[in-house]
Structure 1
Amino acid sequence: MLYVFAALAVVGWSVVFWQRRNHEIVVVPSVESVETLDVPAESDETLNVLDALPLGVVVVGDNGQEIFRNRAAAEVTGMRHVDVLVEEVIERLVRLASIGQLGSEQIELAGPPQRVLDVRVTPLPEGGSIATIDDITERWMLDQVRTDFVANVSHELKTPVGAISVLAETIEGETEDELVLRLVRRMIIESERMSRTIDELLELSRIEMGGEMLSAPVDLNDVIAEAIDRALPLASRQGVAIAFEKSMDESTIKGDHFQLVSAVSNLVDNAVKYSDEGGLVTVSLVTIDESVELQVADQGIGIPMASLDRIFERFYRVDRARSRGTGGTGLGLSIVRHVVTNHGGEVNVRSREGEGSTFILRFPSIHGSK
C-alpha cells in the first residue's frame, strides 16, 4: 500500500516539477535542498509528503542522475555495509526500468541485527524511475516462523501416524500373542504422543487468543500445589524429588487460574524430565516490592548458552533426540511465555550445561497491578 502511494505521489510530482523546469534534471539529495530550487508549491508539498513516508523513496532522472531521496531512504543507505549493497541493487534495477521493465530484489543483511529489505524500481511516465526501499524484516520473520511452524506440525503428526500405520500392518499378519501385545502398546504410545501434540497446540492457540478474564484473584501457592500434584507420578517414575514450602508472603495476583497452572506445570514437568535419578526440583515464591517471583530450579543437564535465546520459540528443542526420549513436543515453554505475557509479567532463565536450570516468572502482585 505504501509503495502504491509513493508511486502515485512521485508520478504527480514528476509531471509538475519536470514540466515547470523544462525537463531539466536537478539533483536533490534531501527535501531540505528543495527550498533553494524555486520548486513549485504543489511539487514542494508532494516532496514533504514523500519525505514523511516510512518507506524509502529514491527518484532517478532519465539520464540516471538522482533527483530526490527521502529521509527513510537516506537512513537506510547511510548504514554501514548497507549503502553499497542497496546502491548496487538500485543501479541494477534502474537499468531495467530505463527499458520499461519493472524490477525488484530482496536484500538479506546478516547484521546484527538481521534485516531484510525489499527494493523495487518502477519506470515513470515522464522518464526516469522511482525506487522504493521497504524494511520487511518483521514480515519476513513472521513468514519464517509460519513456515517452520507448518513444517514442525507436519513432522510431529506425521511421525506417529506413520508409526501407527506400520505397526497396524505388522499386527495384521502376526499370530504370536505376546508380540501383538507389544505392538499394540507401541501403537498406544504413538497415539498418545500425537494426542499430546494436538492438545498442546490447541492450548497454545487458546492462550494466544486470550478472551479469559484475567482479573480474578489467584493465589500462586495454590497454582504451584496443583502443578506439583500433576507432576508427582512422573517424578516418582524418574526418581526425582520436588520441594516446595508454602510462602507466607502475599502471593496473590490477578489472572486466570487455568493458564497459570498450565505454565507452572510445564516448568515443573520439564525440570523433572531433565533431572537425573535422585535429583531435586525446587519451587519457590518470594515477594519483591510490588511483584511476586516464582522460581522453578533443577539440578539437571542444563541448557547451552547458544540456545537460551530460542527456547521459548514454538517447537524449538535444544536436542531433538533428547526431547524425543523425554516425550517433549517443544511447545511447553512457548505456552509459558504467552501465559506470563498475558498476565503482564516477564520470564527469565539462568542455566549452564551440567549445572541445571532456573526459570524465573515475575508477576505484578494484586496490590501492584493496576
Structure 2
Amino acid sequence: MTEDAPVIDSEAEIRILLDALPMGVVVLLADGQERFRNTVATSIAGARHADVLVEVAAERLLVLALRGLESREQIQLAGPPQRVLEVRAIPLADGGAVAIMDDVTERWRIDQVRTDFVANVSHELKTPVGAISVLAETIEGETDDELVLRLTGRMVIEAQRMSRTIDDLLELSRIELGGEMLKTDVDMADVVAESIERVAPIAMRKGVPLMVKSEKGVAIISGDFFQLVSAIANLVENAVKYSDETHQVDVRVVTSDTTVSVEVEDRGIGIPADSVDRIFERFYRVDRARNRATGGTGLGLSIVRHVATNHGGEVNVRSREGEGSTFILQIPRVLRSV
C-alpha cells in the first residue's frame, strides 16, 4: 500500500464482518456502554419471549465480563421446535467485553445421540457379560451334571446375544459410512429370495408361514445387493419375531413407473401410535421386556433406514396396535430403454 492510498475504515470493516456472522455479537465499552451490536443480536433483542431469555442471559454475563470474568451459559428453549443456544461473555484487553450468542441446537442434538448411543451400547453389552459372570461363578465347583448343562446352555445364549449386538453394530457402522457400496443392477426378486432364505429357519422354528409375491426381471434397481438383503432380512425377521404361531407374514415386491417397493406385512402385535416416529432410532424398543425375550438388539430398523438413505429411498410403516404392521422399503427404479 502506498502513502497516497486511502486509509481503510477499520471500524466499518469490522462491522461488515461481524454482521456476516451467523451468531449474535454484542460489544461493550469499559464503562458499560454498548459499542456495537450485529444484525443477529439486534434481531434477538425485543423479539419473541424465548429470544428475550437469551438477551437477558447475555446482559447478565456481560456484567461479569466487565469485571474480568469469562463465563458461558446454555439455554434450552422448549419450542417447538426445540432449540439450544449458548451465550458466552469474554473480557477484552481494553476493559470492555463481548458477548456471543450462538445456536448450538445441532451440536447439542449430536452430543445427545452420542451420549445415548454409548449408554445403550454399554447396557446391551454389560447385561450379557454380567449374566455370563454370574453363571460361571455358579458353575464353579458344581457337581450336578444336569445343572451344569443347563447353566452352560444359558451362557451360550447370553454369549450369542452379545455377539448379535456386536455384529449389528459393525453392520450399522459399515452401512452408515456408505463408502463401500458396490452398486450394480439388482433384481429385488433376488434380494427378497436371499432374505427369505436367511430368515426361514427362524420362521420354521416359530411356526410362522412366509408368503412371497415377486417376479424376476421386473423390479430392477441400482444398489448394493448385500445392503439390500440386510435391510429386507431385518424387516422379515422383525415381522416373524412379533407374530404368533400360524400368523402369516407377507412379503411383496411392488413396482411403479419410478420406484420399487418391498412391503413386509405381519399380523402381529402392532406398534403404539406414540412409538411409530421413534422405531427407527438406534436401540429404541417399544416393549423392552418382549424385545429381550425375542432376542432383538434394537438396531435392525436403524440399519434399514440407513440402507434406504444410501439408495436414495425411504422406509415407512403403517401399523395398528393389536392388528399388525406393514413396513415399506421404497427405492428409485432403474428404467430400461426400449
- How would you bin the TM-score normalised by the shorter chain? over 0.9
What amino acid is aligned across from residue 148 of structure 2 in structure 1? Answer: V
Matches of 1:207 and 1:283, distance apart in 2 = 23
In the other structure, the counterpart of 1:310 is 278
What amino acid is aligned across from residue 291 of structure 2 in structure 1? Answer: S
Q: How many residues align?
A: 329
In the other structure, the counterpart of 1:171 is 139
In the other structure, the counterpart of 2:187 is 219
Counterpart selection for 1:156 from 106, 124, 127: 124
Matches of 2:171 and 2:249, distance apart in 1 = 25
1:100 aligns with 2:78: no
What amino acid is aligned across from residue 204 of structure 1 in structure 2? Answer: L
Matches of 1:338 and 1:204, distance apart in 2 = 8
Could you report, residue by residue, the CA deviation over 1:56-100 in whole angstroms, capped at 9, with x for unpaired residues? Answer: 212233443433322233444565231221122112101101211
In the other structure, the counterpart of 2:5 is none
In the other structure, the counterpart of 2:38 is 70
- 3-state DSSP class of the match of 2:253? strand
In the other structure, the counterpart of 1:360 is 328
- More displaced stretch, 298-307 vs 207-216: 207-216
Counterpart selection for 1:346 from 289, 314, 327: 314
Matches of 2:311 and 2:145, distance apart in 1 = 53
Could you report, residue by residue, the CA deviation over 1:173-197 in whole angstroms, capped at 9, with x for unpaired residues? Answer: 2111111111111011000001111
Counterpart selection for 2:17 from 49, 52, 56: 49
TM-score, normalisation: structure 1: 0.85
CA RMSD of aligned residues (A): 1.7
What amino acid is aligned across from residue 250 of structure 1 in structure 2? Answer: V
User: Structure 1 residues 110, 161: CA separation in 2 closer, same or farther (over 3 Å shift)?
Assistant: same
Q: Check the 8 A contact 2:24/2:100 in 1, yes or no.
A: yes
User: Structure 1 residues 248, 219: CA separation in 2 closer, same or farther (over 3 Å shift)?
Assistant: closer
Matches of 1:333 and 1:243, distance apart in 2 = 21
Q: Check the 8 A contact 1:249/1:286 in 2, yes or no.
A: no
- 3-state DSSP class of the match of 1:282? strand
In the other structure, the counterpart of 1:58 is 26
Q: 1:246 Cα deviation (Å)?
A: 1.6
In the other structure, the counterpart of 2:300 is 332
Map 1:108-257 onto structure 2 (within 5 A): 108-247=76-215, 250-257=218-225
Matches of 1:271 and 1:79, distance apart in 2 = 50
Counterpart selection for 2:52 from 81, 84, 87: 84
- 3-state DSSP class of the match of 1:167? helix
Q: Check the 8 A contact 1:117/1:137 in 2, yes or no.
A: yes
Q: Check the 8 A contact 2:207/2:245 in 1, yes or no.
A: yes
Matches of 2:254 and 2:211, distance apart in 1 = 15
In the other structure, the counterpart of 2:3 is none
- 3-state DSSP class of the match of 1:82? helix
User: Structure 1 residues 76, 234: CA separation in 2 closer, same or farther (over 3 Å shift)?
Assistant: farther
Matches of 2:322 and 2:217, distance apart in 1 = 33
- 3-state DSSP class of the match of 1:106? strand
Could you report, residue by residue, the CA deviation over 1:157-185 in whole angstroms, capped at 9, with x for unpaired residues? Answer: 11111111111111112111111111111
Q: Check the 8 A contact 2:187/2:217 in 1, yes or no.
A: no
Percent of aligned pairs with the same residue?
66
In the other structure, the counterpart of 1:280 is 248
Q: Check the 8 A contact 2:46/2:52 in 1, yes or no.
A: no
Q: Structure 2 stretches of 5 or more lacking a match?
A: 1-7
What amino acid is aligned across from residue 29 of structure 2 in structure 1? Answer: G
Q: Structure 1 stretches of 5 or more lacking a match?
A: 1-39
Q: Check the 8 A contact 1:315/1:329 in 2, yes or no.
A: yes
What amino acid is aligned across from residue 158 of structure 1 in structure 2? Answer: K
- 3-state DSSP class of the match of 2:260? strand
Matches of 1:282 and 1:70, distance apart in 2 = 60
- 3-state DSSP class of the match of 2:185? strand
- 3-state DSSP class of the match of 1:309? helix
Q: Check the 8 A contact 2:26/2:36 in 1, yes or no.
A: yes
Q: Check the 8 A contact 1:231/1:268 in 2, yes or no.
A: yes
Matches of 1:351 and 1:231, distance apart in 2 = 22
Q: 1:249 Cα deviation (Å)?
A: 7.2
TM-score, normalisation: structure 2: 0.92
In the other structure, the counterpart of 1:267 is 235
- 3-state DSSP class of the match of 1:87? helix
- 3-state DSSP class of the match of 2:73? strand
